[in-house]
Amino acid sequence: MLHLHFKLFLTAKNFDVYANVNYLYRTLSSSNPIGSDERTPMPSYQAPVKDTLFILNDVLGYERYNNLSGFSDATPDIVEAILVEGSKLAEEVLLPLNQVGDQEGCVRHDDGTVTTPKGFKEAYNKYREGGWMGLSADPEYGGQGLPLVLHTAIGEYLGASNMALMMYPGLTQGAIAAIAEHGSDEQKAKWLPNMIEGSWTGTMNLTEPHCGTDLGLLRTKAVPHDDGSYKISGQKIFISAGEHDMSDNIIHLVIARIEGAPEGVNGISLFIVPKLSVNDDNSVAGPNGVSCGSIEEKMGIHGNATCVMNYDEATGFLIGEANKGLNAMFVMMNEARLGVGLQGLCQSEIAGQNAANYARERIQGRALTGAKEPEKKADPIIVHPDVRRTLMTIKSFNEASRALLLWTALNSDLKHRADSEEDREAADDVLGLMTPILKGVLTDRGFDNAVAAQQMYGGHGYIEEWGMSQFVRDARIAMIYEGANGIQALDLVGRKLGANGGRAVMAYFKEVGDFCEENRDDEKMAPYTKSLKKGLNDLQASTMWFMQNGMSNPDNAGAGSTDYMHLFGVVALGYMWARMAKVAQKKLGNGGDDADYLENKLVTARFFFERIMPETALRRQRIEVGSESTMALDAAAF
Amino acid sequence: MLHLHFKLFLTAKNFDVYANVNYLYRTLSSSNPIGSDERTPMPSYQAPVKDTLFILNDVLGYERYNNLSGFSDATPDIVEAILVEGSKLAEEVLLPLNQVGDQEGCVRHDDGTVTTPKGFKEAYNKYREGGWMGLSADPEYGGQGLPLVLHTAIGEYLGASNMALMMYPGLTQGAIAAIAEHGSDEQKAKWLPNMIEGSWTGTMNLTEPHCGTDLGLLRTKAVPHDDGSYKISGQKIFISAGEHDMSDNIIHLVIARIEGAPEGVNGISLFIVPKLSVNDDNSVAGPNGVSCGSIEEKMGIHGNATCVMNYDEATGFLIGEANKGLNAMFVMMNEARLGVGLQGLCQSEIAGQNAANYARERIQGRALTGAKEPEKKADPIIVHPDVRRTLMTIKSFNEASRALLLWTALNSDLKHRADSEEDREAADDVLGLMTPILKGVLTDRGFDNAVAAQQMYGGHGYIEEWGMSQFVRDARIAMIYEGANGIQALDLVGRKLGANGGRAVMAYFKEVGDFCEENRDDEKMAPYTKSLKKGLNDLQASTMWFMQNGMSNPDNAGAGSTDYMHLFGVVALGYMWARMAKVAQKKLGNGGDDADYLENKLVTARFFFERIMPETALRRQRIEVGSESTMALDAAAF
């Protein structure tokens, strides 16, 4: 731990330079109602450290796992210290660059090099020097070996404050995971240390112009070379962080078809293809036939370079077995999907925080129940129930999503670190089941929430200067990449439900059902468990309906898949709310000094169960309608 | 009519220059799956003339009104000819400039002048020369006097093909309406002819930096001058089309406070403030103290200049009575709100058309029920139920929204032109009731649909080149301006429900209830009327709940207002679907050559009643929860 502490301390010193830039405007203008002067406040962000700790310590009982590797190093004190350090990096280093990144974007030069927005490289260096890239990576290759759940908690802060910048390390994490799980020992020793240290970054190269979802159509080819390596040729598109100026090398993980491989997805192999060749001593040699052909003009995440990558007989190294590339790719992809689900929460959180600030400061109109601040010309708009409804909707989503993400990340830890095979299997089941839900539901709702938060600002929300548009535009991509959300719904319904005879979903239903049962006689829990039980019933009935009607006509499953994913998502978030309510009540019963915080949790839980959970009945009704009217028209009739 | 015909013919000749530019790319690339070559097709658009005619002729029975002024000139042949001419203007002149406008945007020069994107001025001239501005304006001032319903139908085509460009004439329409209804005869004679001819455009100047929704806070002041005019001074923001290079003069309609006027909304007056002074002979003289201080960087509608307008002792002319400006302003505002509701449909329609084209052409994966095009490497994505669900959701919204808009516009015509006071009053009731619903619901859903259509494209949807991002970014503003949608919901619940003892809403409930009753024994209508009746019940129960609980605690009304607006919207769209289904069945029973079209209507109606209408129960449930958990938290707790 000494190593980690030292690094964090070093990082903390560097913060001084950046400190408080972000809060300057807000403080300056706080005595005036927003808009009454010429200054536009920059968006602000405060990492929800207290909320993270409540979830880790009180809801998930993080300390229970202190017998497991990595967990034992992260005592509650250490966890809190690391969260606080992470929050500083987010608030003081990354946030001030978020709007800069959007406005400046990336620039590709004629020689194919790409410059990232001003300050990005320096901020990334701080991230790297702080040891954040390797926080939960294998100590054998230079990582800190701490739990993924901690990495995820901090990932929220960093992603909320600067989504585009954090995609550079984010994609590196996916590449690290794929090499760590499917690479040979030799490959791990060669590639991982520099990636975990952060001096090399990574990418995922899947999509081609004619193939996104359907990877079986891919054309990039790999020709075996005498020395065991391959020559990779082809074009990849939409490659996030494909080329940039922030690291010494870029390690592309590329799927391609080895000459003569079977057609379709059974002929896909995964390769390590470095931007620059690497000598035996790991020093960087010359170019490797990899070039960025262009970068895309996009709706958002302007600070991240989305590249067309051209491979011209680039030397690549096969990871795992030939033609079995899909398995290794899915390691990377599943890692990325959790990260994208997290982005949904991130944008919802920062947009929601700013909307709440604005609603507290912007004065306009009077409360329906009579003036609340009669000495002013108008009341702050937070007095209006429709504004409250919006803020509560966002808040009730964010807090449950945070719990759901951390619970899932904890299960990812348990999958790798639990003592018994049984525990590891159960954790893996949770992880597999929750991945499409987190990716699909959190990004759909996260985007909706960013839009709703933007709406609070009226016309100011539409003006780029205020920053709310950026949250919406950035959040939009999360619904698309790493498998569009319609694909997540199909993954859930078509793959995850039936896997191992439905073991994962049955175990989940039992867990939620048991929770409701155990709390049946607890009157204080009734407002939550009754509604949760109803939602669970709708979910179980819908699942049953798929069993009965999806086999005979798969279109019935397809037509209901998105509704099912969201139905599952609402129940999963509701289950987190019920658990949080239980803990809050217990702690309130014990007395203590956090009564306001805990009471607020109970109010927010009630709002969720009253307003959001009833959606399950609608989703179920749509599912049970089946596919007939959905599929009836000729394609030409649209 | 000779005048009109001549103008349209003249316009038609000019189309040759532009003809078919738009379809070129699509035709060129049609033999290849999208994305397999380097070309990106421009978004396409085909005006739904057939659908408009079905609604006008068959559903609304447009010919019934041929005894009314204006209607008698517009025989079915003429109506069709005008629609076709309008569709050409949209498809051939406006559409090719839509992406140009987004990419180029408006430029403000140091001297305060603003240049619109390349081609905008020429396209506007075609609009003007075609006589479109005055289509439904008073013939006494140069208008064609045709029904507003026709103007609205064409407005859809024009707005879908280029929203930003059409805002210049769109705002002029609002200004014309306000002067026509509240101006003196002298003012009408002075200002209207050039505005109706289109050589002068108009604007609405309401918002100030510190006041948007709450106009009572406004500070712009008006000082009386000896000659009866006023000197106007102050700053207005977010002024669409505030400054540009498309017309010879710009007639600003500005709200301001006359020195010494009462505080709040009872001290607001409305003024005509021309950009350039106008001589007695209507020739344009010099500057009038009106200048554009800056233009905003916005999320979308880049082709329209959103201006900060500075008034420095500009000469203005009072419209109507002093301190009664709000009434005149609402004429303009209500006109604008219908126009904004229309924009919601417009963006949903063009985005949906393009998504359907893409889904028919993009091949990726295989149908769940087995390969549909086995000779190809993959099936087009329109075979997938989740893609269908998206397209059907958009289609079922668009077709009902079109009917609802045209029905409301017809009621606006009847309000002004019907023979009996009773008919005029009933029509005015419909107009008042439907205005917030059209504005709020059509723009919320229109945006959602644009987002869903973008989603069909996967990563390509996020790239600006493909044009789908623009539809989303443009659609976003419609939820905000002319009264943010939360304000529409409050207008509906707080003003419209209770107006005249609930006369409008009771008449509407009776009309929908009677329709269900009349068709109760018609088995073929059962799939539609049963679902509609359920929705109506939820709407009536929610209305009753407001009566019982909104008086004692207004927060109960506020907390449910947005849900109520959407609940009402779904019922209103459902009522249109039920009427369309009735007509389709009748026409099918009569035989004829349009069976496919009519059968498709029935399928789409069924989809709406199966999938969308059930939302009413959820909305009702949320409303009946009340405001307690919504309002419980301290403002600081967010």
Amino acid letter for position B41: P
Residue B33 pLDDT > 50: no
**Given this model, what pLDDT does residue B48 score?**
98
Residue A33 contacts B, CB cutoff 8 Å:
yes
β-strands A107-108, A306-319 pairing: unpaired
Closest by Cβ to A299, choosing from B36, B384, B462: B462
CA distance B39 to B59: 42
Q: Which residue, B56, B133, B136, is CA-closest to B89?
A: B133
A313 is catalytic: no
User: What SS3 class is residue B220?
Assistant: coil
Q: Which residue, B95, B101, B120, is CA-closest to B244?
A: B120
Residue B8 pLDDT > 90: no
Given a contact cutoff of 8 angstroms between Cβ atoms, the answer to whether B89 and B128 are in contact is no
Question: Which run of H or of E encompasses B259?
Answer: none
- The answer to whether the CB atoms of A480 and B472 lie below 8 A apart is no
Q: Which residues, at least 6 apart from B551, have a Cβ–Cβ distance to it below 8 Å?
A: none
User: What SS3 class is residue B338?
Assistant: helix
- The answer to whether the CB atoms of B365 and A213 lie below 8 A apart is yes
What's B543's DSSP letter?
H
CA distance A50 to A29: 27
Alpha helices by DSSP H, B457-553: 459-462, 468-478, 485-490, 503-518, 526-549
User: What SS3 class is residue B74?
Assistant: coil
CA distance B313 to B317: 12
Residue A34 pLDDT > 60: no
Minimum distance, in Å, between the CA of residue A482 and any CA atom of chain B: 10
Closest by Cβ to B386, choosing from A391, A562, A607: A562
Which residues in chain B are closer than 8 Å to A618, comparing Cβ atoms? 614-615, 617-618
Residue A463 contacts B, CB cutoff 8 Å:
yes
Tokens of A616: 């399950």
Minimum distance, in Å, between the CA of residue B421 and any CA atom of chain A: 35
Residue A400 pLDDT > 80: yes
Closest by Cβ to B462, choosing from A298, A606, A631: A298
Task: Report pLDDT digits (tens) over B467-505.
Answer: 999 999 999 999 999 999 999 999 999 999 999 999 999
CA distance A170 to A175: 9
Closest by Cβ to B35, choosing from A209, A473, A611: A209
pLDDT, average across residues A218-233: 97
Residue B509 contacts A, CB cutoff 8 Å:
no
**Given this model, what pLDDT does residue B629 score?**
98
CA distance A48 to A402: 10
**Given this model, what pLDDT does residue B333 score?**
86
**Given this model, what pLDDT does residue B592 score?**
76
- The answer to whether the CB atoms of B458 and A476 lie below 8 A apart is no
β-strands B230-240, B221-224 pairing: antiparallel
- The answer to whether the CB atoms of A385 and B473 lie below 8 A apart is no
**Given this model, what pLDDT does residue B89 score?**
98
- The answer to whether the CB atoms of B214 and A461 lie below 8 A apart is no
**Given this model, what pLDDT does residue B40 score?**
66
- The answer to whether the CB atoms of B630 and A389 lie below 8 A apart is yes
- The answer to whether the CB atoms of B625 and A610 lie below 8 A apart is yes
Find the residue in A nearest to B551 (Cα).
A369
Q: Dihedrals φ, ψ of A550, to 5°?
A: -85, -25
Find the residue in A nearest to B307 (Cα).
A463
pLDDT, average across residues B170-191: 96
Q: Between the CA atoms of A58, A60, A64 and A70, what dihedral angle is there, to the nearest 10 degrees?
A: -120
Amino acid letter for position B211: C
pLDDT, average across residues B281-308: 97
Reported confidence tier of residue B602, pLDDT bands at 50, 70, 90: very high
Residue A120 pLDDT > 50: yes
Given a contact cutoff of 8 angstroms between Cβ atoms, the answer to whether A604 and A395 are in contact is yes
**Given this model, what pLDDT does residue A187 score?**
98
Given a contact cutoff of 8 angstroms between Cβ atoms, the answer to whether B162 and B246 are in contact is no
Q: Which residue, B304, B217, B234, B232, is CA-closest to B270?
A: B232
B-contacting residues in A 241-270 (Cβ below 8 Å): none
Closest by Cβ to A631, choosing from B388, B390, B555: B388
CA distance B619 to B441: 13
pLDDT, average across residues B371-376: 94
B-contacting residues in A 367-396 (Cβ below 8 Å): 368-369, 377-378, 380, 382, 384-392, 395
> A198 vs A131, A195, A250, B521, CA distance in Å?
8, 5, 10, 73
pLDDT, average across residues B81-107: 98
- The answer to whether the CB atoms of A633 and B389 lie below 8 A apart is no
Which of A388-397, B13-22, B539-548 is predicted least confidently? B13-22
Residue A611 contacts B, CB cutoff 8 Å:
yes
Closest by Cβ to B386, choosing from A211, A369, A486: A486
Longest Cα–Cα distance of chain B, Å, equals: 83
A-contacting residues in B 401-440 (Cβ below 8 Å): none
**Given this model, what pLDDT does residue B4 score?**
43
CA distance B46 to B53: 15
ipTM: 0.94
Give the distance, in angstroms, between the CA of residue B557 and the centroid of all CA atoms in the same chain: 27
Task: Report pLDDT digits (tens) over B320-335.
Answer: 999 999 988 888 888 8
β-strands B306-319, B269-274 pairing: antiparallel
Reported confidence tier of residue B28, pLDDT bands at 50, 70, 90: very low
Reported confidence tier of residue A413, pLDDT bands at 50, 70, 90: very high
Residue A42 pLDDT > 80: yes
What's B492's DSSP letter?
I
Given a contact cutoff of 8 angstroms between Cβ atoms, the answer to whether B447 and B475 are in contact is yes
Residue A5 pLDDT > 60: no
- Choice among B482, B523, B624, B628 that is catalytic: B482
| DSSP line for B111-164 | TS-EEPPTTHHHHHHHHHHTT-TTTTS-GGGT-----HHHHHHHHHHHHHH-HH
β-strands B276-278, A107-108 pairing: unpaired
Find the residue in B nearest to A604 (Cα).
B629
Closest by Cβ to A630, choosing from B216, B389, B559: B389
Q: How many Cα atoms occupy the beta-carbon half-sphere of A163 within 13 Å?
A: 27
* Stronger pLDDT, A380 or B28, i.e. the higher one: A380
Tell me the pLDDT of chain A averaged across its residues: 93
Find the residue in B nearest to A369 (Cα).
B554
Q: What is the 3-state secondary structure (H, E, C) of B280-322?
A: CCCCEEEECCEEEEEECCECCCCCCCEEEEEEEEEEEEEECCC
Find the residue in A nearest to B350 (Cα).
A638
Residue A489 contacts B, CB cutoff 8 Å:
yes
Tokens 């609405």, located at residue? B204
Residue B400 pLDDT > 70: yes
Tokens of A38: 């010429």
pLDDT, average across residues A34-48: 72
Residue B607 contacts A, CB cutoff 8 Å:
yes
- CA B108, B112, B113 angle in degrees (round to 5)? 65
Given a contact cutoff of 8 angstroms between Cβ atoms, the answer to whether A606 and A557 are in contact is no
Tokens of B277: 């002074």
CA distance A554 to B385: 9
Choose the mutation target among B629, B631, B634 for the interface with A, i.e. most A CBs under 10 Å. B629
Residue A631 contacts B, CB cutoff 8 Å:
yes
**Given this model, what pLDDT does residue A296 score?**
97
Q: Dihedrals φ, ψ of B284, to 5°?
A: -85, 130
**Given this model, what pLDDT does residue B34 score?**
41
**Given this model, what pLDDT does residue A40 score?**
66
Residue A37 pLDDT > 80: no
Closest by Cβ to A386, choosing from B211, B469, B562: B562
Which residues in chain B are closer than 8 Å to A348, comparing Cβ atoms? none
Which residues in chain A are closer than 8 Å to B538, comparing Cβ atoms? none
B-contacting residues in A 289-308 (Cβ below 8 Å): 296-300
CA distance A400 to B425: 50
Tokens 């077709």, located at residue? B399
Longest Cα–Cα distance of chain A, Å, equals: 83
Find the residue in B nearest to A295 (Cα).
B463
Which of A209-213, B202-206, B424-428 is predicted least confidently? A209-213
B527 exposure class (CB count in 10 Å sphere: 0-12, 13-18, 19+): middle
Task: Report pLDDT digits (tens) over B241-273.
Answer: 999 999 999 999 999 999 999 999 999 999 999
Minimum distance, in Å, between the CA of residue A514 and any CA atom of chain B: 27
- The answer to whether the CB atoms of A360 and B635 lie below 8 A apart is yes
CA distance B541 to B539: 5
Q: How many Cα atoms occupy the beta-carbon half-sphere of A50 within 13 Å?
A: 6
Residue A378 pLDDT > 60: yes
Reported confidence tier of residue A335, pLDDT bands at 50, 70, 90: confident
Q: Which residue, A121, A151, A47, A462, is CA-closest to A303?
A: A121
pLDDT, average across residues B539-559: 96
Closest by Cβ to A209, choosing from B36, B454, B477: B36
Residue A603 contacts B, CB cutoff 8 Å:
yes
Task: Report pLDDT digits (tens) over B37-63.
Answer: 445 679 999 999 999 999 999 999 999
Minimum distance, in Å, between the CA of residue B89 and any CA atom of chain A: 23
Q: Which residue, A295, A296, A292, is CA-closest to A310?
A: A292
A77 exposure class (CB count in 10 Å sphere: 0-12, 13-18, 19+): exposed
- Choice among A104, A297, A482, A615 that is catalytic: A482
Residue B614 contacts A, CB cutoff 8 Å:
yes
A-contacting residues in B 202-241 (Cβ below 8 Å): 207, 209-214, 216-217, 237-238
CA distance B240 to B308: 9
